[in-house]
Structure 1
Amino acid sequence: MNRLIVGVALGALALSACNKSKNSDTTTVERNVLIDNGAAAATTASAADQAFVEAAAASNMVEIESSKLALTKATLPSIRTYAQMMIDDHGKASTDLAAAAAGAGATVPTALPADQQTKLDALGKLSGAAFDKQYLADQKAGHVATLAKLKDYGASAPAGGLKDFANATAPVVQKHLDTLEKIK
Structure 2
Amino acid sequence: MRKVLLLTLLGFGTMAKAQIPQPDPDTTAKHFLIVASIKNLQEVSAGRQAAQKAMRPDVKMFGQMMEKDHGDAEQKLLALAKNLDMTLPSASTGGIQPDLELVNAGDKFDKLFVHGMVSGHGNTVQVFENYATVGKNPAVKAFAQEMLPKLKQHLAEIKAIEEKMK
1:14-40: CA deviation from partner (whole Å, max 9, x where unpaired): xxxxxxxxxxxxxxxxxxxxxxxxxxx
CA contact (8 A) 2:34 2:92 kept: no
The structure 2 residue matched to 1:102, chosen from 82, 90, 94, is 82
Q: Is there any run of 5+ residues in structure 1 with no aligned partner, and where? A: 1-43
The TM-score with structure 1 as length reference comes to 0.68
1:57-92: CA deviation from partner (whole Å, max 9, x where unpaired): 000000000111111111100001011111111011
The TM-score with structure 2 as length reference comes to 0.75
Deviation at 1:123, TM superposition (A): 1.4
Please give the alpha-carbon distance, in whole angstroms, between the structure 2 residues aligned to 1:156 and 1:105.
22
User: Could you say what the CA RMSD is over the residues aligned between the two structures, in angstroms?
Assistant: 2.1
Q: Is there any run of 5+ residues in structure 2 with no aligned partner, and where? A: 1-23
Where does residue 55 of structure 1 map in the other structure?
35
- Greater Rg, structure 1 or structure 2? 1
CA contact (8 A) 1:62 1:112 kept: no
Matched, 1:121 2:100: yes
Matched, 1:84 2:64: yes
Query: Which residues in structure 2 correspond to 1:128-167 (within 5 Å)?
Result: 128=107, 130-167=108-145
Where does residue 155 of structure 2 map in the other structure?
177
Please give the alpha-carbon distance, in whole angstroms, between the structure 2 residues aligned to 1:105 and 1:87.
27
Extract structure 1 runs of 4+ deviating beyond 4 A: none
The structure 1 residue matched to 2:52, chosen from 72, 94, 105, is 72
Deviation at 1:45, TM superposition (A): 7.5
Query: Using a 3 Å threshold, how does the CA distance of structure 1 residues 92 and 120 change in structure 2: closer, same or farther?
Result: same
- Give % identity: 28
Matched, 1:111 2:91: yes
CA contact (8 A) 2:34 2:88 kept: yes
